[in-house]
């Protein structure tokens, strides 16, 4: 088999499928040579940027959001590799986490494209044309959360005690931490931002939550033999991912957003209408994917002194 010619291997493959190999071979006679633009679909990709205003910097805003969505897709792709891998090893797990973290690091370090890359005057003009849309409505961002951690870690801290593994997913969904940003604080009524988001995605989210209930990154980590859970590089890769998504990216986003939302005489409201400053800071939000991989002190200081980063473990944490 090793020395067999590709044509012989192909013949075996088609024989096994009960198909005549000469048919696709004849088709090859007329096949067009593959080009970069057909393969990457550059024409389709470059036709997806539709401005809603005359402001040139709106193009920066649209393109950068699209870059984010593409990277979110790359992240979800790698998470799925871990979720579905049979005989998962620490090497495979840590390598995929490395890829995912690199993508998120890239999103974090590039956020200045938003913070410094648009004229404030232009932003203040085009943003009004976008209400009530918000990055808050990025479905892939929510999928990354569901696929990364146990659902309980995404539940608003005020309701965690009322929710356990037997709670219906619909009920848990209604108590996710981000529901707070979609409600009027006084009346408790849901905002248009979140109503539209739910109409479009809620059913998909429930299915996805079920799928990842037992295959999220933390569940997969816990499914490893205990000795593997003590693997130092895996634990450090998990911590890096958690910190990058939930502190570094969140702070980069908040810093960029503050620049626009705090500018001008009248402080701007978020397009989505949330109490954005409190909602977006990691020290209040406290979204943590892998709380058992952080010490008591690190958890207490979550989101505080965040720019100093965090220490890499030199010996593994013991996980109960």
CB of 163 to ligand HEM, least distance (A): 19
99, 28 Cβ separation under 8 angstroms? no
CB of 252 to ligand HEM, least distance (A): 10
Q: Token digits for 179?
A: 């529901």
Question: Among residues 194 and 237, whose Cβ is nearest to ligand HEM?
Answer: 194
Tell me which residue of 212, 208, 249, 235 sits closest to 290, measured CA to CA: 235
Question: Among residues 272 and 303, whose Cβ is nearest to ligand HEM?
Answer: 272
As a whole number of angstroms, the distance between CA 51 and CA 266 comes to 26
Question: Among residues 216 and 271, whose Cβ is nearest to ligand HEM?
Answer: 271
> Which residues have CB under 8 Å from 185's CB, separation 6+?
275
CB of 80 to ligand HEM, least distance (A): 20
As a whole number of angstroms, the distance between CA 187 and CA 168 comes to 25
As a whole number of angstroms, the distance between CA 142 and CA 298 comes to 25
Question: Among residues 134 and 248, whose Cβ is nearest to ligand HEM?
Answer: 134
CB of 142 to ligand HEM, least distance (A): 8
Contact positions toward ligand HEM, by CB under 6 A? 64-65, 68, 114, 134-136, 138, 141, 178, 181, 253, 256-257, 260-261, 270-274, 276, 279-280
Tell me which residue of 29, 93, 97, 92 sits closest to 244, measured CA to CA: 97
304, 256 Cβ separation under 8 angstroms? no
CB of 31 to ligand HEM, least distance (A): 39
Question: Among residues 178 and 290, whose Cβ is nearest to ligand HEM?
Answer: 178
Question: Among residues 181 and 234, whose Cβ is nearest to ligand HEM?
Answer: 181
Question: Among residues 19 and 192, whose Cβ is nearest to ligand HEM?
Answer: 192
Q: Say which residue the tokens 């990058």 belong to.
A: 244
CB of 284 to ligand HEM, least distance (A): 11
CB of 74 to ligand HEM, least distance (A): 14
């Amino acid at each position: 088999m090793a020395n067999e010619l590709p044509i012989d291997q192909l013949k075996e493959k088609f024989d096994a499928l009960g198909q005549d190999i000469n048919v696709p071979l004849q088709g090859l006679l007329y096949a067009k040579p593959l080009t970069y633009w057909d393969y990457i679909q550059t024409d389709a990709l470059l036709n997806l940027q539709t401005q809603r205003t005359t402001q040139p910097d709106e193009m920066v805003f649209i393109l950068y959001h699209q870059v984010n969505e593409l990277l979110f897709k790359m992240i979800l792709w790698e998470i799925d590799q871990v979720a579905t891998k049979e005989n998962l090893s620490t090497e495979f797990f840590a390598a995929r986490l490395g890829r995912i973290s690199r993508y998120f690091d890239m999103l974090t370090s590039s956020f200045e494209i938003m913070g410094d890359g648009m004229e404030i005057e232009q932003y203040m003009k085009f943003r009004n044309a976008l209400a009530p849309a918000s990055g808050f409505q990025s479905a892939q961002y929510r999928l990354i959360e569901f696929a990364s951690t146990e659902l309980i870690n995404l539940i608003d801290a005020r309701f965690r005690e009322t929710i356990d593994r037997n709670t219906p997913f619909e009920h848990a969904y209604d108590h996710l931490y981000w529901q707070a940003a979609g409600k009027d604080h006084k009346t408790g009524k849901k905002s248009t931002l979140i109503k539209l988001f739910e109409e479009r995605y809620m059913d998909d989210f429930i299915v996805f939550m079920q799928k990842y209930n037992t295959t999220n990154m933390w569940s997969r980590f816990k499914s490893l033999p205990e000795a593997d859970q003590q693997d130092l590089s895996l634990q450090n890769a998990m911590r890096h991912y958690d910190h990058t998504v939930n502190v570094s990216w969140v702070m980069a986003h908040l810093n960029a957003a503050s620049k626009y939302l705090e500018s001008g005489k009248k402080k701007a409201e978020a397009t989505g209408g949330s109490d954005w400053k409190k909602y977006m800071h990691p020290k209040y939000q406290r979204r943590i994917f892998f709380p058992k991989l952080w010490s008591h002190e690190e958890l207490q200081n979550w989101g505080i002194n965040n720019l100093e980063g965090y220490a890499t473990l030199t010996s593994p944490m013991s996980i109960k």
